[in-house]
Amino acid sequence: MKSVYRIIGISLLVIIILSVGCVKRDNPVVPETPPAGQVAWFTHQYDGLTGANSVWNRYPARRVAVYTPPGYDFEKIGPRYPTLYLLPGFDGEPSFSFEYGNETYYLAASIAKVADRLIASGEIKPLFIVMPDASIPYGGSFYANSTLAGKWEDMMSVELVHKIDTLTTTDTRPGSGFRTLAAKESRAIGGHSSGGYGAIRIAMTNDSLFNSVSAIDAPLALTGIQELFGPYLNESGITTEEQYQAADTTGFRAKPYKVLFYSMAATYSPAPKTNDTGLGSLRISLPFDFHGNVVDSVWDKWLANDLYGWLDNATYKSVLTNQNLYFETSDHDVNMFNQQTRLFEQKLTSLGINYQSATFSIYAGANAQSRTFLYDRLEYILKFHAKHLRDRDGKY
């Protein structure tokens, strides 16, 4: 009997030891203050912001912020990392980067902290996160090529990617620049609002660049945009035809619908200068007249940039069929971009194109507006892309 008890005791001891070992492996200890990455800033002079009609002729340089993972040393040769490109929304403000986070908007100053925590816990792999300033005088880019606003599609898909992959030491600080894994399998792109539109658009037109793409409350279908024209007139105090034609950028930032329509017009329907005031001086054409009627010649230009319509193109359909896609929508968005994203998802479903999606409504007594609660969703965005980024060991 003693031998039996001895065997049972040894067996229990082995089980306890193995159990403790398993617990340690499955639950890594994460420090209260995880190791911090760095944020590097540099200025790039985009070729795409120059041209005969571009509003950027005199100042084509834009700032770019890059999060580098904990322990990254610019002054030493070391391992290479995958890269996630995050594009800001149509107001294009640098708050989507790290330095100018707004407490009620992106809370983007904390993106680095989110990445630090997820890397420390092993939930995502170490990576670079690149965030450009995409602001223009009309608000922000919609990431298409425009003679007026700039060639943003080319700049994000060719210029910026090439710059990050080949950045020299003199562009940042002494050392070896950004040691990226310069391959599709190690690149991802995502964005919020028109940044999400830009991410999907660039992925559709550059199928060899990114292995995953995401969008949060993005204007992926023009359906419903006409419903926002009335709010644009109201917020601008426009009640007459003369006021409509004389509209300018006065009080611009406090009028979100004006920023929206002017940004889209600068991208989709730039026009020759016709006078020194109003829309003629801004060199843009809107797709609706003062009474809200569609101006077909302008609306056709907008429809040519409607990604929902692009899904009817066999080439674009094929690209997205082979892409890793993720969409986030809120239960409230003043621009109705959440509804447009859902329409895009529905069409993907009808076409048999796979994707992942989530809708967030997580605060009692408050709408889950995409701007207000975007910070809470970034964790999910980072986790999604990390699963589809190949690291230096060739693993996903």
* pLDDT tens digits in sequence order for the chain, 396 residues long: 444 334 334 343 333 333 434 444 454 555 678 888 988 878 888 887 766 566 656 567 777 888 899 999 887 888 899 999 999 887 655 444 333 333 333 444 478 888 999 999 999 999 999 988 888 888 888 999 998 888 899 999 999 999 999 875 444 454 457 999 999 999 999 998 999 999 999 999 999 999 999 999 999 999 889 999 999 999 999 999 999 998 887 777 788 899 899 999 999 999 988 888 788 888 999 999 999 999 999 999 999 999 999 999 999 999 999 999 999 999 888 889 999 999 999 999 999 999 999 998 866 677 777 666 776 788 899 999 999 999 999 999
Shared domain for 46 and 168, answered yes or no, is yes
pLDDT for position 309 = 97
Rounded CA-CA distance 11/250 in Å is: 79
Which contacts of 350-354 are long-range, i.e. CB under 8 A and separated by 24 or more positions?
351/311, 351/317, 351/321, 352/321, 353/317, 353/320, 353/321, 353/325, 354/321, 354/325
pLDDT, tens digit (0-9, with 9 covering 90-100), for 273-294? 888 878 888 899 999 999 999 9
Is residue 30 included in any domain, yes or no? no
Q: Which two tokens stand for residue 133?
A: 């300033």
Shared domain for 184 and 106, answered yes or no, is yes
Shared domain for 296 and 150, answered yes or no, is no
Residue 267 and residue 142 in contact, taking contact as beta carbons nearer than 8 Å: yes
pLDDT, tens digit (0-9, with 9 covering 90-100), for 298-325? 999 999 999 999 999 999 999 999 999 9
Q: Residue 4: what residue type?
A: V
Shared domain for 278 and 166, answered yes or no, is no
**Of 286, 303, 320, the domain-final residue:** 303
At 76, which CATH number? 3.40.50.1820
**Of 303, 323, 348, the domain-final residue:** 303
Shared domain for 45 and 179, answered yes or no, is yes
Q: Between the CA atoms of 132, 138, 144 and 149, what dihedral angle is there, to the nearest 10 degrees?
A: -90
Is residue 14 included in any domain, yes or no? no
Q: Which two tokens stand for residue 34?
A: 């995880």
pLDDT for position 28 = 52
Task: Match 């409504």 to its residue by tokens.
Answer: 361
Shared domain for 281 and 328, answered yes or no, is no
Is residue 166 included in any domain, yes or no? yes
Rounded CA-CA distance 67/118 in Å is: 14
Q: Residue 204: what residue type?
A: M
Q: Which residues contact 146 (CB under 8 A, 6 or more apart)?
A: 152, 266, 267, 268, 270
Is residue 9 included in any domain, yes or no? no
Q: Which domain holds residue 131?
A: 38-221+308-387
Shared domain for 255 and 143, answered yes or no, is no
Closest CA to 61 of 80, 79, 48: 48
Is residue 191 included in any domain, yes or no? yes
Sign of the CA dihedral with 124 first, then 127, 129, and 130 last: negative
Is residue 182 included in any domain, yes or no? yes
Q: How many domains does the chain have?
A: 2
**Of 303, 336, 371, the domain-final residue:** 303
DSSP 47-63: GGG-SSS-TTTT--EEE
Sign of the CA dihedral with 175 first, then 167, 320, and 214 last: positive
Beta strand 356-360 pairing with 324-330: parallel
Shared domain for 58 and 111, answered yes or no, is yes
Is residue 394 included in any domain, yes or no? no
> For 45, how many CA atoms within 13 A lie in the half-sphere containing its CB?
5
Residue 93 and residue 156 in contact, taking contact as beta carbons nearer than 8 Å: no
Rounded CA-CA distance 304/62 in Å is: 28
Shared domain for 264 and 200, answered yes or no, is no
Is residue 15 included in any domain, yes or no? no
Residue 336: count other Cβ atoms within 10 Å of its Cβ. 17
pTM, full prediction: 0.86
pLDDT for position 55 = 62
Q: Which two tokens stand for residue 81?
A: 């990392």
Shared domain for 173 and 289, answered yes or no, is no
Shared domain for 248 and 347, answered yes or no, is no
Shared domain for 296 and 184, answered yes or no, is no
pLDDT for position 19 = 40
Residue 94 and residue 256 in contact, taking contact as beta carbons nearer than 8 Å: no
* Neighbour order of strands in the sheet with 187-192: 38-45, 61-68, 128-132, 83-87, 187-192, 212-216, 324-330, 356-360
